Amino acid sequence: MPSLEEELFPSTPGKFKDRNRHFHRCFASTSTMFLWALFLIALTASYLCFQSFVDSGNRYFSATWGGHHWEKQVRTSAQIRRSHGMSVLVTGAAGFVGSHVSLALKKRGDGVVGLDNFNNYYDPSLKKARKNLLNEQDIFVVEGDINDSKLLLKLFDIAGFTHVMHLAAQAGVRYAMENPNSYVHSNIAGLVTLLEACKNANPQPAIVWASSSSVYGLNEKVPFSESDRTDQPASLYAATKKAGEEITHTYNHIYGLSITGLRFFTVYGPWGRPDMAYFSFTRNILQGKPITVYRGKNRVDLARDFTYIDDVVKGCIGSLDTSGKSTGSGGKKRGPAPYRIFNLGNTSPVTVPMMVGMLEKHLKVKAKKNFVVMPGNGDVPFTHANISSARKEFGMREARRK
Ligand SMILES: NC(=O)c1ccc[n+]([C@@H]2O[C@H](COP(=O)([O-])OP(=O)(O)OC[C@H]3O[C@@H](n4cnc5c(N)ncnc54)[C@H](O)[C@@H]3O)[C@@H](O)[C@H]2O)c1
């Protein structure tokens, strides 16, 4: 056995040569191993990256749908139980407006299938609770995303919807500064995926969808009429809703889809959205915390044309009933189809201090108010609807204060 010295300093040159060769072989194999190890690490890292990319892409596409039982639930829920009824796919069915519209349609005997991705923009347990309400009335709510074209294809295949009530969207004006891409995901990409599915369906459904009063943006002419300018959005939310109006127009023009866009004005009522001011104000007032009340230029109070949920539901159903048919088939237009836009408002704006006054009265607690100049975060100073078109077309009523 060579000594340590011999190991380091071989006694003969030949031995040294051999040792040297051996050393080089070892070194070569070590460096090869090192390279292999590096390669494997890189491969693992790229696999993990790819996985996380796929996961984030599929975050909304939960594979909870499919299978015999699931298809049966969809089919049963879509069944029409009145003569001349309709079979409606309600997107955003676990949302505030979607849950109310679904219940109202089901109540009169229409077939309803809900679709919602239960995202966590606000507490998903509220969405689950709304879903339970719908389940109790035999409305099946599919958990899935409107960007999932395979899911949409499957749903249309099973249920053959006559109408789509499209309410799924990323709502809220201020959140757009925090998570702009969620607006693009749901309000633009999701809308296009849904329209593609509708265009390809045979027969094509008629589509009623929620735009927003926010499209009036910085328009100062009151009350807001459908023909007023909508090219000055004040928020990304508004911009995506405005884009939705243009996108739906394209699908109407090219493919003959019947389209009705509804510009909702600040909807309120039971099971409402917790991100809306009347909720946060109530919570803070009850907890004795101060509330921030924004004011416009020259201390002008902000005002909203608050619209009660029942009136909005009537407007949605009136729109579905009068929507007219899509004319295309197999992705081809066969003739002109209706393209309509309606304001669904109350025509009676309420200032924010008035709203706070009502809360104080009902809660029997005085609010601690901090008046602050409205920051430029997407809000507009006031909204006020002219609803004469909706009144004429489907009897929309005005000014019902609850
Ligand atoms: N409530 C209002 O005051 C108001 C005003 C103007 C316009 N709108 C519009 O009306 C519609 C309904 O609003 P809401 O107040 O019920 O809001 P909401 O947030 O309570 O309901 C929307 C639902 O859509 C779901 N959703 C979002 N993105 C989705 C996606 N990609 N795939 C599947 N589901 C998705 C959400 O989980 C949610 O349950 C929205 O389009 C909103 O922009 C509402």
Residue-wise pLDDT for 181-224, tens only, equals 999 999 999 999 999 999 999 999 999 999 999 999 999 999 99
Question: In 3D, which of 182, 183, 324, 179 has the Cα closest to residue 256?
Answer: 324
Active-site hit among 122, 175, 183, 237? 237
Residue 310: which residues within 8 A CB-CB, separation 6 or more? 100, 269
Measured from the Cα of 98, ligand 1's closest atom is: 16
Q: Which residue has the higher pLDDT, 31 or 217?
A: 217
For residue 166, report the distance from its CA to the centre of ligand 1, in Å.
9
Task: Using most ligand atoms within 8 A of CB, pick from 59, 62, 96 the residue to mutate for ligand 1.
Answer: 96
Residue-wise pLDDT for 73-119, tens only, equals 999 999 999 999 999 999 999 999 999 999 999 999 999 999 999 99
Residue-wise pLDDT for 41-64, tens only, equals 555 544 443 443 333 344 456 558
pLDDT value at 14 more than 50: no
For residue 364, report the distance from its CA to the centre of ligand 1, in Å.
32
Task: Specify the residue with its C-alpha closest to ligand 1, atom 11.
Answer: 167
The structure's pTM equals 0.86
Instruction: Please say if 308 is a catalytic residue.
Output: no
> How much of the chain exceeds pLDDT 70, in percent?
83
* Ligand 1 first shell, C-beta below 6 A: 91-92, 94-98, 115-119, 127, 145-147, 167-171, 186, 190, 210, 212, 264, 266-267, 273
**Whole-angstrom Cα distance, residue 177 to residue 189?**
19
User: SS3 for the chain, per residue?
Assistant: CCCHHHHHCCCCHHHHHHHHHHHHHHHHHHHHHHHHHHHHHHHHHHHHHHHHHHHHHHCCCCCCCCCHHHHHHHHHHHCCCCCCCCEEEEECCCCHHHHHHHHHHHHCCCEEEEEECCCCCCCHHHHHHHHHHHHHCCCEEEECCCCCHHHHHHHHHHHCCCEEEECCCCCCCHHHHCCHHHHHHHHHHHHHHHHHHHHHCCCCCEEEEEEEHHHHCCCCCCCECCCCCCCCCCCHHHHHHHHHHHHHHHHHHHHCCCEEEEEECCEECCCCCCCCHHHHHHHHHHCCCEEEEEECHHHCECEECCEEHHHHHHHHHHHHHCCCCCCCECCECCCCCCEEEEEECCCCCEEHHHHHHHHHHHHCCCCEEEEEECCCCCCCCECCECCHHHHHHHCCCCCCCC
pLDDT value at 264 more than 60: yes
pLDDT value at 17 more than 70: no
Task: Judge whether 341 and 211 are in contact, CB under 8 Å.
Answer: yes
Read off the pLDDT band of 39 (50, 70, 90).
low
Task: Using most ligand atoms within 8 A of CB, pick from 264, 342, 379 the residue to mutate for ligand 1.
Answer: 264
Residue-wise pLDDT for 269-288, tens only, equals 999 999 999 999 999 999 99
Task: Specify the residue with its C-alpha closest to ligand 1, atom 42.
Answer: 171
Task: Specify the residue with its C-alpha closest to ligand 1, atom 44.
Answer: 264
Read off the pLDDT band of 6 (50, 70, 90).
very low
Rounded mean pLDDT, 149-164: 98
pLDDT value at 384 more than 90: yes
Mean of the per-residue pLDDT values of the chain: 88
